[in-house]
Structures are given as C-alpha cells and as structure tokens.
Amino acid sequence: MTVLVCSDLDRTLIYSQAAFALDGPDEAMPRLVCVEFYQGAPLSYMTEAAARTLETLAASAVFVPTTTRTPEQYRRVHLLEKPPAYAICANGGHLLVDGEDDPSWSASVRARIADGCAPLAEIQDRLVRTGGEFVLKRRTASDLFAYTVVDRASLPPGWVDDLAGWCAERGWRTSLQGRKVYCLPACLTKAAAAAEVARRTGASAMLAAGDSLLDAELLEAARASIRPAHGELHDAGWTSPATAVTASRGVAAGQEITDWLLHRVENHR
C-alpha cells in the first residue's frame, strides 16, 4: 500500500534561528543540520534526529514537501539526499515532478482562479493603499498571490482582520505567518494539489502536517494529521478529530512531527 505524506516546511519541518524556541542549558541543545542557505548564509535547520527520521520516512512513503514557497524558494531547501519525486509549491499553484514544473497543472490552477476570484492587481492596489510604515516589503509569488513583510510590533490593531474581510468579499483569503501577511485566492489550496498527487501515485491513504491556516484544509483532508504547538493554527485554537498536536514547540516540534509521521506510516503497512 502506498502512503502519501504531505508536509508544510517552514515552522513545521524546518526552522530559522528565530523560530528555534529552545530552552535549557547550552550543553543540552540538540545537534542541528542546516538545510537551506540564502545568499550564502545559513537560514533553515532541522535537528539531526529529524533529518535522519525524514530519510527513513521518504524511503517508506511518498513524501511530498507542501509549501507556500515559490518553486525558486523551495529549491533552496535540501531536505533529503535524493530530492522527492513530487513537491507542491505556491500553496498548490505549482506541482513539481522530478524538480520540474508541471505546466498542465499550473494552467488548470490559473484557470480556476480567473473564474472565481478578483484579479491579483486589485489585491496589490489594496495593500499599497492601506499600508503604512509597518509594511517593510511587498511581494508577489508566481503571479498567483501577494504578501507583505510587516513589523509585527507596529502592526495596527485590526488591520489584518479588516484586510481579511475585504479579501473574503473578492474570493481571497489572508494568513499571518511570522512577519508575513499573505493574500491568496480562496481556490488556491494545498489540499487540491495533494489530491492530484494521490491520484497519480495511487496512494491508499494520506498523512499531513502543517502549522498555518493555509494548511487547515490539507490537515482535514488527510486520514491523520499533526500540527505543532505553535503557529497560526495553534494561536487560533484550531483542531480537528484526526489532528494531533505536538507536546513541543519550535525546532523540537519538527522532530516530534517526523517521528509521528514515520510511526503512522509503519503502522499502515
């Protein structure tokens, strides 16, 4: 039986130094493995134990990194000795097969967005008009969605909620993750891309992991899923009957997630 394992990356499996959330004496800290460099500097890490477990997991199941990162951002991450056959990027907007973008999938996603959502330019205009000094950067991703990098300490009360309400009226949704505020078409989902990978691989079951509201549909679509005890879902108190929650926070939660996923895969055999 083929088991599909779809997992978010940032603050689920991999962590920047700011997200480690490690406590205790220095001599008790776990060994870490750098899995991403940006402009020549180390950026994202896993514990060494999590990296080993992930290799075993990828040999036992169809492991699919499932991220809101663009393909270019995803390609900076080196999780495994052998790259996964499938990867879901841009929150489901791109399906990579052996590292290459599947053009038919991308075209079908863009057609769905054009049919049911306000244009990206309208969202960008709103972000420009309502932004202030708290907005540090504005970006678009794969010409599919927009996001801003904000100073959380200076973020005006209610700004994200107001933006979310405005976006919802236009077929878009928002997500606040760390310092980034995402605006995405409501039909752009990781779950839809995961279902396509399940169809192609003939998977009999799916497991999933994620930490943000953009992962909620994916977690609900899985036979069993797990989220860390931090992040947007945790802050919102989100749960579902099939979703476990880690006991740990930060990079230690990433290790707990890989252990949990491998255990479920082995029990499915």
pLDDT tops 90 at residue 1: no
pLDDT digits (tens, 9 = 90+) for 235-262: 999 999 999 999 999 999 999 999 999 9
Give the count of beta carbons closer than 10 Å to the beta carbon of residue 201: 16
pLDDT at 107: 97
pLDDT tops 90 at residue 269: no
Residue range 110-134: average pLDDT? 95
Q: Return all residues near 127 (Cβ < 8 A) that are at least 6 apart.
A: 135, 138, 146, 148, 163, 183
pLDDT digits (tens, 9 = 90+) for 209-240: 999 999 999 999 999 999 999 999 999 999 99
What is the share, in percent, of the chain residues with pLDDT greater than 70?
A: 100
pLDDT at 156: 94
Q: Write down the mean pLDDT value for the chain.
A: 96
Residue range 112-120: average pLDDT? 94
Q: Return all residues near 170 (Cβ < 8 A) that are at least 6 apart.
A: 117, 118, 122, 123
How many residues are given for the chain?
269
pLDDT band at residue 268 using 50, 70 and 90 as cut-offs: confident
Residue range 92-101: average pLDDT? 98
Alpha-helix runs per DSSP H in 96-137: 103-116, 120-130
pLDDT band at residue 178 using 50, 70 and 90 as cut-offs: confident
What is the share, in percent, of the chain residues with pLDDT greater than 90?
A: 96
